[in-house]
Amino acid sequence: MKIASIAAAIALVASVAVAGLSDKVKGALTTFMARSHPSPHTEKDLIAELSEYSANAGLSDVSGSFGQKKYAQAAMGLDSHAHSISGDPMVQHGGPLAEPFMMLNDCVSELHTIYK
């Protein structure tokens, strides 16, 4: 019985690893990286960047939060999204999307700081 459970868990992990990032998320990260990121961000620029990312990535709940000006809720949604993709090799150190992923995390942290 335990062997079957272990095998099922391994199969689940393997299927998730094979699935990887969706094309929408890959495209959104690539577009996010190509955007101009002023330093420091103005609140308006930060919201525009993260709103665009969430729309491009297909994160309708997060996009809706931005549309309703519920920025703390949007930050939590983006935080959850970032956590969900953090295990993908493409966004980990040395991966082709590691830099835009780090930038996304930095921007989400900045949004959290503004809208607690």
Q: Does an H or E element contain 57, and which?
A: none
Residue 1 within a domain: no
State which residues form the domain around 44: 22-114
Task: Say how far apart CA 81 and CA 39 lie, in whole Å.
Answer: 24
pLDDT of 94 reads: 94
Q: Please count the structural domains in the chain.
A: 1
Interatomic CA distance for residues 102 and 110, integer angstroms: 12
Looking at residue 3, its pLDDT comes to: 54
Tell me whether residue 68 is in a domain. Answer: yes
The verdict on residue 3 lying in a domain is no
Whether this prediction's pTM lies above 0.95 is answered by no
Q: Is residue 2 one of the residues assigned to a domain?
A: no
* Lookup: tokens for 49: 């960047």
Q: DSSP letters along 69-107, please?
A: T-HHHHHHHHHHHHHHHTTSTTTSTTSTTHHHHHHHHHH
For residues 13 and 45, which has the higher predicted lDDT (pLDDT)?
A: 45
Averaged pLDDT of the chain: 86
pLDDT per position as a tens digit, 58-72: 999 999 999 999 999
- Answer yes or no: is 5 within a domain: no
Query: Looking at residue 41, what is its pLDDT?
Result: 85
